[in-house]
Structure 1
Amino acid sequence: MRSVTELQKIVDSAVIARNVFDLRPDYLALLIAVDGITPSPSDSTSESLLQSAEAAAKDRLSTTVVTEIPAVKAWRDTYKSFGAKPKKYQSSIEALTRRIPNGGLPRVNRLTDIYNGISVLHNLPLGGENLDAYTGTPKLIRASGTEEFETKTGIEHPDVGEVVWCDDAGVTCRNWNWRQCVRTQLKEETTSALFILDALAPMKREDVEKAGEELVEALQEGGEGLVVAKRVLGKEDAGDV
């Protein structure tokens, strides 16, 4: 199992390209690296969290159509800014919210259910990568189009200028938070993960950090020895990638 120092090195090495902030200067990312997760199928903890998330989403949808929910609208506008059509590519929070009236959120495994629940409860995109399948440094960049993205059917390439999360081996998530690759996807047996919480205004840093705290608290329930490292990245942390 990785130490806190080892996990902190991973999140401290993360870089967001300067031209990403040209699209959204208000963007914040909270990275949380975790080791010592207790592998488990869906359980009472994850089920309770999903039910609370579904209730929160139904409340939002009772007064506002999905495309006008502020967080969803912000991401739709952002996708348009780098050429991704929102009708074809939906942010993860929009995709999850749209599932609520049509059968509810999926039940996958405890780990995935927890982060989906936190995502919907706090109305922000949240993704997870298997750290044991991860290579090198987390990076958010504008794609050149040559990067590799592994799917169930083979290798794809992002569009030129598309915003993608990647590691040293390729793209881990296309269109900022639209779809994650097969290589680093979380599974029932996953014990170590890198979580990425994406936030746009009007969400504030303290709101994102609260969501992160609740994610860690949920992961700690029923387990012992969880090791955690965190880092928030904003415009002031932009780098050359």
Structure 2
Amino acid sequence: MLLTLPSISPEIYRLAPGFRALSINVEAAPLTDKRIGENALKEACQAVLAGQPAWAESHLSAWADVFRAFGAKPKRTPCSAEALRKRVLRDGAMAALDPVVDLYNAVSLRYAVPVGGENFAAYNGIPQLVVADGTEIFDTMKDGQPGTESPDAGEVIWRDDTGVTCRRWNWRQGVRTRLSADDSKMWFILESLPQMPLEELHAAGKMLTDGLNKMMPGVRCQTTLISAELHNA
């Protein structure tokens, strides 16, 4: 199994001191139990309604501060974990979408952590977390039709050698690398700030890989911690 690690620009660590993430490479296996993701999602929604986890408010508030630091407006374009949490608190539940998407959304909700899931076979080069210059191309949907746009200069983006894969750090994923349970090569990124205990970040990663193993026995997963200390080692 080929291990691919993302490239993190030094500017990112200046914007978000203490930023760390789990990068998880996955070689999928045939799906045998699609209920795993849906059940995990239901349980995670109940955890959110019960006020869990204890660090949710401080962690998501820290993400809002980081978004403001690069010019985003978190009330209008919040980090992905906050957007999911607000939806559950408003509606009381989330509808199932796709077994793998449901699973990583469940991890995001239960641990109040932004989680990205990508079809790695659609990537051109490695994932890169950088500050945009504003000329990059992001593929999206506009009025139900495929379209493109560019990020703002100074915006934090995930990208590959083709273009933007996620705008405003982890706010909106592009169409090209969107993930489903049918994909054979997957890449996940769980992104945290110091307000989330490091052991809980590892627990979140384990929830994801354990769920994948139950959902598709024979799946292969490799998890790597990404941090400024390791980046500069």
Return the TM-score normalized by structure 1: 0.87
Q: Deviations over 1:171-201 (max 9, x none)?
A: 1111111010000001242222100000011
Matched, 1:170 2:163: yes
Q: 2:210 aligns with which of 209, 214, 217?
A: 217
Q: CA separation of 1:185/1:54 partners in 2, compared to 1, >3 Å: closer, same or farther? A: same
Q: Which moved more, 1:28-37 or 1:202-211?
A: 202-211
Query: How far apart, in 1, do the equivalents of 2:31 and 2:161 lie?
Result: 26
Match for residue 62 of structure 2? Answer: 74
Which secondary structure does the structure 2 equivalent of 1:221 belong to? helix
**Structure 1: where are the runs of 5+ without partners?**
none
Please report the RMSD computed on the Cα atoms of aligned residues, expressed in angstroms.
2.0
Q: 2:175 aligns with which of 162, 165, 182?
A: 182
Amino acid at match of 2:150: H
> Does structure 2 retain, via aligned residues, the 8 Å contact 1:29–1:198?
yes
Residue 56 of structure 1, CA deviation: 1.1
Amino acid at match of 1:27: F
Query: How far apart, in 1, do the equivalents of 2:229 and 2:126 lie?
Result: 19
Match for residue 153 of structure 2? Answer: 160
Q: CA separation of 1:127/1:106 partners in 2, compared to 1, >3 Å: closer, same or farther? A: farther
Q: 1:28 aligns with which of 12, 15, 20?
A: 20
Matched, 1:87 2:75: yes
Matched positions, count: 226
Percent of counterpart pairs with the same letter? 36
Query: How far apart, in 2, do the equivalents of 1:176 and 1:197 lie?
Result: 12
Match for residue 228 of structure 1? Answer: 221
Match for residue 150 of structure 1? Answer: 139
Q: 2:114 aligns with which of 125, 129, 134?
A: 125
Which secondary structure does the structure 2 equivalent of 1:50 belong to? helix
Aligned counterparts, 1:101-140, within 5 A: 101-140=90-129
Aligned counterparts, 1:54-65, within 5 A: 54-60=45-51
Query: How far apart, in 2, do the equivalents of 1:69 and 1:60 lie?
Result: 10
Structure 1 segments (4+ residues) deviating >4 Å: none
Q: CA separation of 1:154/1:237 partners in 2, compared to 1, >3 Å: closer, same or farther? A: farther
Return the TM-score normalized by structure 2: 0.90
> Does structure 1 retain, via aligned residues, the 8 Å contact 2:28–2:183?
no
Q: Which moved more, 1:198-207 or 1:213-222?
A: 198-207
Query: How far apart, in 2, do the equivalents of 1:71 and 1:205 lie?
Result: 12
> Does structure 1 retain, via aligned residues, the 8 Å contact 2:49–2:92?
no
